[in-house]
């Protein structure tokens, strides 16, 4: 998962620095999308390598997005999603080619050596200036992480949430969510990095942090070593996640790539026919099973 490829502090900075737009890249008018039948004809002329669908992702690629660092095996949410899209576009599994594309490089300006990249890349308005994103293939929600001993663990009604001392990294969507949705009575303590915020949580200087659900799940897991006591035992817990406010992962294309419309048509089909939900249930239950709480 993304957490294991970059430092957690680096991850949050990279994935959430820009305010998420709820209208750009998040959805599309189904009537404006090309028919999948026409896409099967179009794709051959638009592929980076004729006859092949070239897909980029980072190396290593982690569970539950991929399994055994082998994107081509069809296991894991992003691998399975890629092959489901390819099938709707008339591309055989044997004609899907995977290449290594570092996370940071994927959304840098310039020409790309892939048709699209799938790598838990959050849509941001800043990134969309230099690359093109598909519509959402996974809606990212914000979640609360706290100490297991914290009062907030059992007392987190909307009214109670307003009474706690929060801390977060500067410029993140977690910080924005706290200020715009929870609206606490105490000013949020803002830190230059997530590491600093976690240290403050460990020291009892703040009651909770708000981060993306996948990141929060990792932070609170036993193997992360993010929130620990003097004996290095995990003392963190992910209390719950909030309803979606539009933040999402999108497939990333070279700016202006004509294939994005066809991929959006495929994604719309996978969403309406239940395939997307089924794949999320199969591969992302550690995230989808996190209880939803109201801000």
CATH number at residue 236: 3.40.190.10
Conformation bin of residue 19: beta by default, left when phi > 0, alpha when psi is -120 to 50 = beta
Looking at the DSSP assignment, which residues form a beta bridge with residue 132? Answer: 253
**Rounded Cα–Cα distance for residues 21 and 293 (Å):** 22
State whether 122 and 42 are in the same domain. yes
State whether 233 and 250 are in the same domain. no
> Residue 44 sits in which domain range?
2-140+246-288
Instruction: Give every residue of the chain whose pLDDT is below 70, as ranges.
Output: 1-31
State whether 128 and 38 are in the same domain. yes
Name residues whose C-beta falls within 8 Å of residue 34's C-beta, 6 or more positions apart in sequence.
Answer: 42, 261, 262, 265
State whether 7 and 130 are in the same domain. yes
State whether 275 and 201 are in the same domain. no
Conformation bin of residue 174: beta by default, left when phi > 0, alpha when psi is -120 to 50 = alpha
- How do residues 157-216 score in pLDDT, each as one tens digit? 999 999 999 999 998 889 999 999 999 999 999 999 999 999 999 999 999 999 999 999
- Establish if 293 belongs to a structural domain: no
- Output the CA–CA distances (angstroms, integers) from residue 181 to 26, 102, 157, 210, 295, in the order listed: 20, 34, 13, 11, 6
- Establish if 294 belongs to a structural domain: no
State whether 225 and 265 are in the same domain. no
Name residues whose C-beta falls within 8 Å of residue 165's C-beta, 6 or more positions apart in sequence.
Answer: 184, 186, 189, 205, 206, 207
- Establish if 67 belongs to a structural domain: yes
pLDDT at 8: 43
pLDDT at 24: 36
At 90, list the tokens: 């008339």
State whether 282 and 169 are in the same domain. no
C-alpha torsion sign, points 155, 286, 2, 89: negative
State whether 158 and 261 are in the same domain. no
C-alpha torsion sign, points 281, 286, 289, 291: negative
Peptide bond connecting 60 to the previous residue in cis, omega within 30 degrees of 0: yes
**Rounded Cα–Cα distance for residues 84 and 137 (Å):** 12
State whether 169 and 256 are in the same domain. no
Place of tokens 């092959």: 83
Name residues whose C-beta falls within 8 Å of residue 263's C-beta, 6 or more positions apart in sequence.
Answer: 85, 89, 116, 134, 251, 253
State whether 25 and 149 are in the same domain. no
Q: How many domains does the chain have?
A: 2
pLDDT at 26: 39
State whether 81 and 120 are in the same domain. yes
- For residues 242 and 295, is the Cβ–Cβ distance under 8 A? yes
The H or E element that residue 13 is part of is: helix 8-16
State whether 185 and 123 are in the same domain. no
Name residues whose C-beta falls within 8 Å of residue 115's C-beta, 6 or more positions apart in sequence.
Answer: 46, 47, 48, 53, 54, 55, 253, 257, 259
pTM attached to this predicted model: 0.81
Q: What is the DSSP letter of 35?
A: P
């Amino acid at each position: 998962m993304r957490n294991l490829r970059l430092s957690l502090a680096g991850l949050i900075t990279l994935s959430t620095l820009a305010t998420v737009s709820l209208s750009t890249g998040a959805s599309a008018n189904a009537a404006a999308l090309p028919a999948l039948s026409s896409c099967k004809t179009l794709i051959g002329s638009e592929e980076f390598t004729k006859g092949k669908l070239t897909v980029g992702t980072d190396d290593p690629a982690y569970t539950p997005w991929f399994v055994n660092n082998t994107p081509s095996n069809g296991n894991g949410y992003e691998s399975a999603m890629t092959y489901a899209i390819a099938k709707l576009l008339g591309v055989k599994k044997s004609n899907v080619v995977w290449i290594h594309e570092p996370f940071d490089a994927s959304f840098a300006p310039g020409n790309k050596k892939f048709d699209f990249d799938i790598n838990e890349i959050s849509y941001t308005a800043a990134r969309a200036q230099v690359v093109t994103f598909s519509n959402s293939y996974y809606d990212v929600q914000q979640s609360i992480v706290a100490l297991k001993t914290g009062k907030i663990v059992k007392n987190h009604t909307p009214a109670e949430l307003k009474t706690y001392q929060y801390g977060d990294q500067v410029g993140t969507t977690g910080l924005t969510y706290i200020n715009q949705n929870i609206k606490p009575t105490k000013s949020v303590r803002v830190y230059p990095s997530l590491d600093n915020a976690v240290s403050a949580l460990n020291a009892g200087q703040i009651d909770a942090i708000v981060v993306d659900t996948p990141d929060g799940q990792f932070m609170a897991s036993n193997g992360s070593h993010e929130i620990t006591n003097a004996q290095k035992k995990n003392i963190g817990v992910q209390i719950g996640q909030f309803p979606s406010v539009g933040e999402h992962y999108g497939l990333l294309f070279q700016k202006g790539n004509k294939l994005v419309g066809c991929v959006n048509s495929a994604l719309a089909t996978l969403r309406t026919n239940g395939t997307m939900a089924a794949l999320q249930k199969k591969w992302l239950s550690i995230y989808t099973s996190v209880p939803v709480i109201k801000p």
